[in-house]
Amino acid sequence: MVPLFRWRAGAAGLAAVALTFAVVPAATAAPVLLSQNKPVSVSSTGGSAYAGTNAVDGSTSTRWASQKNIDPAWIYVDLGAVAAISQVKLTWDLSCAKAYRVELSTNATQWSTVYETTTGDGGVDDLAVGGNARYVRVFGTTRCRTGSAYGYSLQEFQVYGTVGADTEPPTTPGNARASDITSTSVKLSWDASTDDKGVVAYDIYNTGQLVKTVDGATLTTTITGLTPNTNYGFYVNARDGAGNVSQASNTVAVKTPPDVVDNEPPTAPGNLRSTASTANSVSLAWNASTDNIGVKGYNVYSSGEQVGSATGTSATISGLKANTTYPFTVKAFDAAGNLSAASNEISVRTKAGGDVIGEVKQVTTSTDVPWGLVNLPDGSALYTERDTHKITRVTQSGTKNTVGTVSNVSGTDGEGGLLGLEISPTFAQDHWLYVYHTSPSDNRIVRIKYENGALGQSQVLLTGIVRNRYHNGGRLRFGPDGKLYAGVGDGQSGSRAQDINSLNGKILRLNPDGSVPSDNPFPGKYVWSLGHRNIEGLAFDSQGRLWEAELGNSVMDELNLIKKGGNYGWPSCEGTSGSGCGNSAYTKPVRTWGVSSASPGGLTIVNDTLFMSCLRGERLYRMKINGSGTDTPVAYFQGTYGRLRTVEPNPVTGGLWLTTSNGDKDSTGNNSNTRIMNVALN
């Protein structure tokens, strides 16, 4: 790991700084001076004697100076090729920068800050930084001699790094395809990736879950242990020896056939009955069905609409209206998808009064994926549409209108796009919305003015978060400290989660203007916690503590209570499973679930009660916070509404906004079937 610090000539101490925007690979040679006599671009010059090239000529007797009395001003050097940057040395003239930042870029368009100060006083700044870049920029925002006619002036601008370092990921594996499909296996093949140093491995995923790794010479493999009559979406990532990961191949859709030809449905469930009821729920039981192969589960219906599911012979249906009569039937299904005839129908009347989870009312529907949602002061809400890249306003009665489309958003043919949305704590004064989205080159955080019912001015706050088909993260949440917290996925490279120089696999903490807070646990870095796989839920309790919900790979999902600077173990520890879980440096999760029972989509807290929406688990968990833990999670809506994405408080009703996420495994706009609902809390 590259140490990051700043040394001030003549000063007594060290101050940690800087955040790289990419994993820094191991050096292959000693750092060398890369910038001398290389091409330079500047914002302005104070005259022909002060050209930008003077700052890279190796002599302190010449200097670059910007035009007088103008802020900001900048200078950048083109190194000619991407290199692993390890040091930037600035020799200032008397006309120095009090506030400035050092930035890196691979394309001279998108810049990532690796050092920032507001206390510069000239002299020599010898900065140890880390990152892969071709272009290095010094960006001054406040002059040391404000109020005068001076600009900024550098005698020398020296950049050191390692040439020949492996900074490029492999090319995308091509033409992924399937053959020899059986009920429990499939043969996958793909065309080779290329890499300047060589591909060492291919990782095969099923909709974001790693299922197998093969060596870099293997282009065909068989995936076994599949479930009959089940849909899969396989794709391939290539990896090189430096840990650089390619973008994902095309997705191969596979449906395994039934293990036997089965056209015979189960028998109808018998003796459907009510075993209990509250104001907002009904508990049902029935006698088991039989089947020539085997019963896989049961669906519960009310007035012809599925309202629940179960693997056993009982279920509790929640979200009902008090003092209301509901009809119910049950049907069994087998592994081949054959559905039985309906059970006997019964009618059950809910009780008067109320319990914790109350009636569910559909507010509106959407043909896209509602992802982030915030409440506006007028009682309406705004939500992001992941695949259309629009932000939509919805009233409590369900009236909708588009307020704007966010620019530079890109899908990933998976779960990238327009993601998290947060509203400024001082929205009444500044009108800022904060957005996390995927761009064509990365994931990033921006803020956008929302005034007079429309999107306006925007500002990029943070770039360089590695994107991939899945594991992009995206949840945003302002804390009671006024800082913005962002949940970031590992970009399908677990090693990034443990690399303090990477933005991925982390919870990041930003000032509202995008700068690094001075009291972050790793000075100069956005990192608040690390060791995360894919974060999609963040929420603060009444004590100001941050809770986080995280998707595991194939074993466990997690609920974590986040500590400043905490390490949560991924990739060597998944939940409480893995060879690295005994490491005392890792913080253990508060709760874990099997991934089929959870896959968190969102998290919120109302009255110190956690509500966690689940995607694959298709349910909403309720957990009362007790000290540093919770009471036993209670599941609601299992099998009722499908995948649940986002849950947020609804201050108008005193309940919850709840959005579904059905048809969300690609980046095609308006091809989903989703709902936005209000859940009463009684």
Distance between first and last Cα of the chain: 52
* 8 A C-beta contact, residue 141 and residue 74: no
Q: Which pair of tokens denotes residue 356?
A: 């914790």
pLDDT reported for residue 17 = 29
The Cα 612–Cα 646 span in angstroms is 9
The Cα 445–Cα 354 span in angstroms is 41
pLDDT reported for residue 501 = 86
- The predicted-structure confidence for 224-251, as pLDDT tens digits, reads as follows 999 999 999 999 999 987 778 899 999 9
471 carries an active-site annotation: yes
User: CA separation (Å) from 476 to 99, 412, 421, 483, 589?
Assistant: 28, 20, 6, 11, 21
- Which range has the top average pLDDT, 68-72, 170-174, 494-498? 170-174
Cis-peptide into 72, omega within 30 deg = yes
Residue 347 burial (10 A CB sphere; 0-12, 13-18, 19+): exposed
Element (DSSP H or E) covering residue 427: helix 427-430
Strand pairing class (97-105; 124-143): antiparallel
Q: What percent of the chain has pLDDT over 70?
A: 95
Starting at the edge strand found earlier in the chain, the sheet holding 506-510 runs 476-478, 484-487, 506-510, 527-530
- The predicted-structure confidence for 244-299, as pLDDT tens digits, reads as follows 889 999 999 999 998 888 899 999 999 999 999 999 999 999 999 999 999 999 99
Residues 6+ apart with CB under 8 A from 190: 173, 174, 175, 176, 177, 202, 219, 236, 249
**What string of DSSP letters covers 100-160?**
EEEEEESSSSS-EEEEEES---SSEEEEEEEEEEEEEEEEEEEETTTTSS---EEEEEEEE
* 8 A C-beta contact, residue 433 and residue 458: no
Residues 6+ apart with CB under 8 A from 518: none
- The predicted-structure confidence for 358-417, as pLDDT tens digits, reads as follows 999 999 999 999 999 999 999 999 999 999 999 999 999 999 999 999 999 999 999 999
Q: Which pair of tokens denotes residue 61?
A: 């007797």
* Catalytic residue from among 389, 431, 437, 471: 471
Nearest Cα to 239, choosing from 23, 2, 21?
A: 23
How many other C-beta atoms are found inside a 10 Å radius of the C-beta of residue 224?
Answer: 11
Arithmetic mean of pLDDT over the chain:
91
Mean pLDDT lowest among 20-34, 59-73, 611-625:
20-34
pLDDT reported for residue 64 = 97
Strand pairing class (418-423; 527-530): unpaired
Split at pLDDT 50, 70, 90, the class of 15 is: very low
3-state SS of 508-525 is: EEECCCCCCCCCCCCCCC
Q: Which pair of tokens denotes residue 283?
A: 């508990």
Nearest Cα to 603, choosing from 509, 506, 532, 535?
A: 535
Split at pLDDT 50, 70, 90, the class of 195 is: very high
Split at pLDDT 50, 70, 90, the class of 150 is: confident
Strand pairing class (454-465; 443-451): antiparallel
pLDDT reported for residue 241 = 76
Quick one: CA torsion of 500, 501, 502, 507, rounded to 10 degrees?
40
Split at pLDDT 50, 70, 90, the class of 196 is: confident
Q: Is the dihedral of CA 371, 376, 378, 384 positive or negative?
A: negative
